[in-house]
Amino acid sequence: MATRLAAAGGPPGRLGRMTEQQKTPHDLPDVSGLSIGILGGTGDQGKGLARRFAMAGHRVTIGSRKAERAREAAEELGAGLPVSGAENAAAAGESDIVIIAVPWEGHRATLESLRAELDGKIVVDCVNPLGFEKGKGAYALDVEEGSAAEQAAAVLTGSRVVAAFHHVSAKLLLDPEVERMELDVLVLGNDREATDLVQALAGRIPGMRGVYGGRLHNARQVEAFTANLISINRRYKAHAGLRITDV
């Protein structure tokens, strides 16, 4: 099941008549050789992304506060995949691009402890600040900086922070019977080169596409929308994602 959002700019019938050149305003970079570190990679979301990027041929390092736990998570993904485990600092330092997938409660502290290792790198934040209330479900939390991604940018002043991968189902990422992830990933950031790279990275996973979603100050509503998707999934027993039409 996918939630479809119609882009502005004309009726749906125009979609089939648009040329590829019109739909793609610029070429995305080749990211096939990039190594990826995933901090918080022992959780389902991080581990699922590690699996999919490794299947696409990327060298992936799962990071955790404890190296042994990270290595165990890498082993769980199966032999033959280019995935290893290491303590967070090592995973961040040895990777070309780093994805932050830690629980919200440890978000700031984790980033503050890794400023040096993340300096100069593109850092992709996919953390959703959510709370859960019995009988009411998930809801978005207020963040002083505006969003988790903006908090990351405030802490990591020497990094290029991009927000992405918020609405990807961990269950589908880990399911060996799911060959294609049929959804779009909203990519937000203030650095055009960095958002282009993350869009291209999303496209390395079969069925997935990265779509530019605005500057970093727009990350708040993207993170918060995860609460709506959780409600959709519970009501319809689904693993809903997004598809952006007419783009």
- Indicate the pLDDT class of residue 21, thresholds 50, 70 and 90: very low
Spell out the residues 6+ positions from residue 162 whose beta carbon is closer than 8 angstroms to its own: 122, 123, 124, 125, 149, 187, 188, 189, 191, 194, 195, 198, 216
* Domain layout of the chain by residue ranges: 36-236
Over range 68-89, report the average pLDDT: 96
Over range 33-59, report the average pLDDT: 97
- Provide the pLDDT for residue 135: 84
Over range 113-131, report the average pLDDT: 98
Helices (H), the chain: 20-23, 44-55, 67-76, 88-93, 107-113, 115-118, 148-155, 170-174, 192-202, 219-236
Over range 66-90, report the average pLDDT: 96
Gap between the Cα atoms of 46 and 79, Å rounded: 18
Gap between the Cα atoms of 34 and 175, Å rounded: 24
- Provide the pLDDT for residue 24: 53
- Provide the pLDDT for residue 66: 96
Strand order in the sheet with 160-163: 83-87, 60-64, 36-39, 97-100, 122-125, 160-163, 183-189, 208-214
Residues 150, 217 contacting (CB under 8 angstroms)? yes
Gap between the Cα atoms of 220 and 140, Å rounded: 9
Gap between the Cα atoms of 45 and 60, Å rounded: 14
Gap between the Cα atoms of 151 and 137, Å rounded: 25
Gap between the Cα atoms of 77 and 82, Å rounded: 10
Q: What is the CATH number of domain 36-236?
A: 3.40.50.720
Residues 99, 193 contacting (CB under 8 angstroms)? no
Tell me the pLDDT tens digit for each residue of 137-189: 999 999 999 999 999 999 999 999 999 999 999 999 999 999 999 999 999 99
